[in-house]
Structures are given as structure tokens and as C-alpha cells.
Amino acid sequence: MNTIKETNFNFKGQTAFYRGKVRDVYSVGEDYLVMVASDRISAFDVVLPEPIPYKGQVLNQIASKFLSATSDILPNWVVSVPDPNVTIGKKCDPFKVEMVIRGYVSGHLWRTYRDGGRVLCGVELPEGLKENDKLPSPIITPTTKENVGHDEDISREDIIAKEIVSEEDYSQLEKYAQALFQRGTEIAAERGLILVDTKYEFGKKDGQIYLIDEIHTPDSSRYFYAEGYEDRQANGEAQKQLSKEFVRQWLIENGFQGKDGQKVPEMTEEIVKSISERYIELYEHITGEKFQYAEAGDVLARVERNVAEAIDSL
């Protein structure tokens, strides 16, 4: 299939290379990053063995659209999108926190609440909430951004006390996160969706804060379908989600949650195809646009050619 499992390019001016769970990141000179969204898929902090056709394109193009749609709130790192799977942007010094923002009692927040927790990342939660209830107002529950191992919950107070981020910068990150979440919520509503929770990453360059990485993608965000939300809540039913939660559910049903000794279930051609179709469905629903399949054939050659041309024009 026409997938990008990994890349091993050597671009003009390349100074460093880093392979994340999903992205291959090339440093070019002192000022630029080339971020290739591969078709790898991860769940439970494990990269699954089979790449998913067009997944990288879906993530890269959703992020590109939302970064463009929020550029009036703050500048972002993007310089160009020379290929469906690639973004080239400014190299920023990243803040060592991820700004997780939640509008509903779902996922990690719900599990904490269900188990008796009434404080998450220093934020106090009211009594009487049910899973997937809307919060009185969105809350920020930051995590550390670790180079190795799992990110950890952390409070605003600890971030400032440990000087991970200055109080002045952190206050600005909070304002940006709230404004971005409000914009994402408005765009989602136009598509018949509810933006449940998401995360933002920020960096700094020449004293200016930039929005970096991806935003509002199904890998970084959780969406509900708005139609029927109230009825499902009233009846105690599970919400209809638009996220990669379906991949996690398939793994759980087949005995895998990333724990020691567990084996990833076989990813048959049928399973891979169904995951690919779901990601394309996600793209079309979130953006409101028909998905345009990228040029097939030698995908790696296409990416290398397009990036090389873009680097020449920097």
C-alpha cells in the first residue's frame, strides 16, 4: 500500500533528525523544522506494527487547516505545507508543558473523578458530575512534556514553582489555550460536533510565543457528535465519539492495553483498511471538505522531491 512507515532522508542543510511515535522531524539549518507525518499509528504509548494508509495526510492537513484558522489568535510555527504529509516551520524552543484543556468530564478526567478524585492538576471539581457531562467552564489540566517515558499531570502552581515556565509566560499560555479552545469549539459546532478536550503545545522564538505541532486533530482531540448528545446523557448512554478511541477499543477488546506481556493483536488487511476509512471519515467530518487522495506511486520519492524544492525556496 502507499504508506509511509518511516523516512530516512538527507536534506540539504540537514543538521539533526528525530523520530517520534508518529512524526519524523528533520532540522534544517538553525531556523527550520521539516515535520513528516508518517502513517504510523500509536495507542497506549505503543507504535502498532502496521501503518495506516493516508493517516499521516489526514493529520497533517487537519492541523494545517486549524493552524490557519487560528492564526489571528497567535502566530504559529508554519512556514509552508509543501506535501500532503509534510509541514515546514520555524524551529522554536518548546515549553516543557502540554496545555490540556477540557470542556467535558471524559477520558482521564472521568477516570480520576470516578475513582474519587475531586482535584486534577490543582483544579477543584464540583460534586455530582456524570461521565461526559459538560463542565461549568473549560479547565486546563497541564502535563509535563517528557523526552522519555510518560507525561505526568502537573498543577499550575508546580509549573511556576519549579520554574518549568515563568508565571508571565504561563499566564499567557492559559489565555491562548482558552481562546484556541473557544475557536475550535465554534468550528466544531458548525460541523455538528462538540470539541470535548484537546491539547496545545507552544514554543518561543526571539521572545515571541508560537503555537507549534498539530491542533484539533483526532490524535490530539476528542469530539462528540452534537446530535443526540443531550438524550444520550439523560439516558446514561455512551456518547458517539469522533476520535481515535475506536482504535483503543479494538485493542482492548483483543486483550491489549500496552501492559507488559501483552501482544498487539493481528492487524489484518481488513482491520488496516477499516482504520484508514475511519480516519478519512474523521477528516471529512471535521473539515467539512471531501478528502483528496494524495498522489500514489512512490510516496517517499514524492515527499523527498517536494521537501527538497521547498527547502531551496526558504
pTM exceeds 0.75 = yes
- Mean pLDDT, residues 64-73 taken together: 98
pLDDT more than 70, % of the chain: 99
pLDDT value at residue 242: 85
pLDDT value at residue 267: 96
User: Chain-wide mean pLDDT for the chain?
Assistant: 95
The grid coordinates of residue 115 equal 475513582
Of all helices (H) and strands (E), which one includes residue 124?
Answer: strand 123-124
Lowest mean pLDDT among 63-67, 246-250, 309-313: 246-250
**8 A C-beta contact, residue 210 and residue 128:** no
Q: Is the dihedral of CA 273, 278, 283, 285 positive or negative?
A: positive
**DSSP letters along 33-58, please?**
EEEEE-S--EETTEE-SS--TTHHHH
**8 A C-beta contact, residue 35 and residue 87:** yes
161-170, pLDDT tens digit by residue? Answer: 999 999 999 9
pLDDT higher than 80, residue 149: no
For residue 129, the SS3 value is: coil
pLDDT value at residue 1: 59
**3-state per-residue secondary structure call for 185-228:** HHHHHHCCEEEEEEEEEEEEECCEEEEECCCCCCCCEEEEECCC
Q: Name the pLDDT band for 151 (thresholds 50, 70, 90).
A: confident
**CA-closest candidate to residue 88, choices 166, 165, 24, 169:** 24
Helix boundaries (H) for the chain: 55-69, 107-114, 156-161, 167-190, 229-234, 245-253, 269-287, 299-312
Separation of alpha carbons 162 and 99, rounded Å: 17
Q: Name the pLDDT band for 148 (thresholds 50, 70, 90).
A: low
Separation of alpha carbons 15 and 11, rounded Å: 9
**Topology at the third CATH level for domain 94-242:** D-amino Acid Aminotransferase; Chain A, domain 1 (3.30.470)
Q: Name the pLDDT band for 246 (thresholds 50, 70, 90).
A: confident
Backbone conformation region of residue 176, classed left if phi is above 0, alpha if psi is from -120 to 50, else beta: alpha
Domain range summary for the chain, segments of one domain joined by +: 94-242
pLDDT value at residue 137: 97
112-147, pLDDT tens digit by residue? Answer: 999 999 999 999 999 999 999 999 999 999 999 876
Separation of alpha carbons 130 and 108, rounded Å: 13
Partners of 233 in the β-ladder: none
